[in-house]
A and B are shown apart, each in its own frame.
Chain A
């Protein structure tokens, strides 16, 4: 059993409430933190090697140290709880079950950054989670963990929850800031970065839910101790949300560095592929990252086992590797149509493109239409080449990473499963019959 830093108490009955959370040692770390200097807290986070858990993997301590601190200008910590990356459901799971961990992390983080008011931006669809957080915040105010002069430290701090209203793009930090300002979720053109000019033009740090939660155990145990867990530059534990054709879908906290094979097949985690089927492909870090066939997700190109870490998952570059991303692990069994699964992803990016910059606005829709044509049995081999060409013209040309996120799944599917596209093109009659050749879960056969 790996160590659990975030989910240790997740199954304690009533852990949602302040009293039970405190009974389990909750808010003790806050007491320790307010006795430290803000620089010391940032230093511990730096030492921990914590990397942004939202997907980009940027070192959190470094991000904190970039925050501008001009005299007389308020600063903000904003929690990115806009979890919308397909395959990712860890933040919702955590906020729903142990909201005070996020609040404790927000207070410690804001204290370290010198932010006197901070916001949790939660996606609008999770309104019921917002209510859970709001209740927890109210409790924390009553107990004196929020408000004026927290724990006698002289630190005044207000925490608010703010909801979105349905836009994946608001998970991009500058789009999130725009949305929090009551605008369309259009990503900003950088620079300036939020650390200099963020929310209301003030210096701002935007961190993922899991990153902020991880600050609590880091301060509790010390950055050095935290960094001992994991492997190389992938320190600590990571929440992985596993879904698809596995026996035990769910959220798992892993120590970085366990073998991918163990994660997929051991009963402690995914419990293997369900119904005795073979694994076909895996999207390891949310829909944006390259899909890999079974052989390449379990082992590196040189045959060594692939590990659950930032470095090992990206080993081999995009030719044979992928990314850890947000930790959204999507597993597909042997009956899955890669092309059709890809189409749902491409439709997603088309639907979620904000429309600001031309390659993404126009390219995502074009790719979706081409994939639909191929799925309908009207595709040609040159359509597959065109698809490749379009994704390459989107990648790296857009304002924000949504363009890359739309391009990579297409590129990787063609790279590793080109034969499947060709099958759709050359033998449409075979495919048509079995068009939806995934097995339907729990749904009666008449609709299969």
Chain B
């Protein structure tokens, strides 16, 4: 996002935000904060800058610090720019039992980045995640809203190739469907 571009939701996103706010009692619009931050992250290149968070604060009539406090608490919110595809690999016990550590190593080697880093071409960001409730289909990773389960190295190669071939815009957890 360029610095001088006005920070404003698209009409669709704005309408959705208003719809979400109505799900909570009057005066409790702060409850919409987390869903709205998901939408904001999808709208603004996959991460939440301070101006974006200030914008969300103004939409919900709350103080900016209340947004910073929340955005920095939850791991799904990126407070730094990320690649178009954020790969979140589960590393917790059940996945570890099934080789998650090697999966992370493989991805680090293949993408030539470490956990938390983004590839030079801005395509991939690698993040390790804690248990994603996919223990029976371990090892696994998540890109956007998609769970990639029972992974093998071949599958991982295939997924990365698919991403390179098809992804042009950043993928977020909120896939611009109903939330």
Chain A residues in contact with chain B, CB under 8 A? 74, 83-89, 91-92, 123-128, 130-131, 134-135, 160, 162-168, 179-185, 200, 241-245, 249-251, 283, 287, 328, 330, 332, 336, 340-341, 344-345, 347-348, 351-352, 354, 436, 438, 440-444, 447-448
The answer to whether B93 touches A442 (Cβ under 8 A) is: no
Q: Is the CB of B145 within 8 A of A127?
A: yes
- Checking A91, A182, A251 against B33 with a beta-carbon cut-off of 8 angstroms, the contacting residue is A182
* Nearest CB of chain A from residue B127's CB, rounded to whole Å: 10
Q: What are 29 A-B residue pairs whose CB atoms fall within 8 Å in the complex?
A: A83-B133, A88-B133, A88-B135, A127-B173, A127-B174, A131-B175, A134-B178, A135-B178, A162-B31, A165-B34, A165-B76, A168-B131, A182-B30, A183-B30, A183-B70, A185-B74, A249-B136, A251-B136, A287-B93, A328-B135, A336-B97, A340-B96, A341-B96, A344-B96, A348-B130, A352-B130, A441-B99, A443-B103, A443-B152
Other 20 A-B pairs with CB < 8 A, given A92-B133, A125-B76: A86-B135, A89-B135, A125-B133, A127-B38, A131-B145, A160-B23, A165-B75, A166-B75, A243-B97, A244-B94, A249-B137, A328-B135, A348-B92, A348-B131, A438-B99, A440-B102, A441-B99, A441-B138, A442-B139, A442-B151
Q: Is the interface of A mostly helix, strand, loop or mixed?
A: mixed
Which residues from B are CB-within-8-Å of A166?
74-77, 129
Q: Shortest distance in angstroms between B159's beta carbon and chain A's nearest beta carbon?
A: 14
A130 and B102 contact, Cβ closer than 8 Å, known pairs A182-B31, A328-B135: no
Question: Which A residues are CB-close (under 8 A) to B175?
Answer: 127-128, 131
Interface check B51, CB cutoff 8 A: no
Q: Which residues of B contact A (CB under 8 A)?
A: 23, 25, 28, 30-35, 37-38, 60, 62, 66, 69-70, 73-77, 88, 91-94, 96-99, 101-103, 105-106, 129-139, 142, 145-147, 150-153, 173-175, 177-179
The answer to whether B173 touches A124 (Cβ under 8 A) is yes
A443 touches B106 (CB 8 A): yes
Residues of chain B within 8 A (CB-CB) of A89 are: 133-136
- B94 — nearest CB in chain A belongs to which residue? A243
Is A351 a contact partner of B94 (Cβ separation < 8 A)?
A: no
A408–B73 Cα gap in the complex (Å)?
25
State the Cβ distance, B25 to closest chain A Cβ, in Å: 6
Chain B residues with CB below 8 A from A328, complex form: 135
CB pair B93 A124 closer than 8 Å: no
**Which residue on chain A has the smallest CB distance to residue B100?**
A344
With a 10 A CB-CB cut-off, give which of B37, B93, B145 has the most chain A CB atoms.
Answer: B93
* B34 and A163 form a contact (CB under 8 A): yes
Complex CA distance for A166 and B72, rounded to whole angstroms = 11
- Is there contact, CB below 8 Å, between A181 and B31? yes
Please pick, from A127, A243, A354, A442, the residue contacting B135 in the complex, using a CB distance under 8 A.
A243
In the bound complex, residues from chain B placing their C-beta under 8 Å from that of A242 are 136
**Interface pair A287/B92, CB less than 8 Å apart:** yes
Closest to A352 in B: B130
Q: Please state if A182 and B70 are interface contacts (CB–CB under 8 Å).
A: yes
CB-nearest residue of chain A to B136: A249
Of chain B, the residue at the smallest CB distance from A249 is B136
A249 to B137 CA separation, bound complex (whole angstroms)? 7
Give the one of B92, B146, B173 with max A CB within 10 A: B92
Closest to A242 in B: B136
CB distance from B98 to the nearest CB of A (A): 4
Tell me the complex Cα distance, A241–B135, Å: 8
Query: What A residues does B25 contact at CB under 8 A?
Result: 74, 200
A406 to B76, CA, bound (A): 22
Q: Residue on B with the closest CB to A250?
A: B136
> Cβ of B77: which chain A residues have Cβ within 8 Å of it?
165-166
Give 5 nearest A-B pairs by CB, closest first. A182-B33, A165-B74, A166-B75, A166-B76, A243-B135
> Are A165 and B37 closer than 8 Å at their CB atoms?
yes
Cβ of A183: which chain B residues have Cβ within 8 Å of it? 30, 33, 66, 69-70
Contacts of A251 in B (CB 8 A): 136
Q: Are B130 and A351 in contact (CB under 8 A)?
A: yes
Please, how many angstroms separate the alpha-carbon atoms of A318 and B44 in the complex?
50
Residue in chain A with minimal CB distance to B105: A447
* Nearest opposing residue in chain B for A331, CB measure: B97
Contact present for A128 and B147 (CB under 8 Å): yes
B93 adjacent to A330 (CB under 8 Å): yes
A442 to B97, CA, bound (A): 12
Chain A residue, CB-CB nearest to B96: A344
- Is there contact, CB below 8 Å, between B93 and A438? no
Q: B106: nearest residue on chain A (CB-CB)?
A: A447
Q: Which residue of B lies closest to A183 (CB)?
A: B70
Contacts of B139 in A (CB 8 A): 441-443
Complexed CA–CA distance, A448 and B146 (Å): 27
Nearest residue, chain B, Cβ from A202: B25
A85 touches B98 (CB 8 A): no
The reply to whether A84 and B70 contact each other, CB–CB distance below 8 Å, is no
Q: Is the CB of A167 within 8 A of B135?
A: no
Closest B residue by C-beta to A123: B133
Across the interface, do B133 and A84 meet the contact criterion of CB distance under 8 Å?
yes
By the criterion CB–CB under 8 Å, are A447 and B147 in contact? Answer: no
Bound together, the chains give a CA A32 to CA B146 distance in angstroms of 38
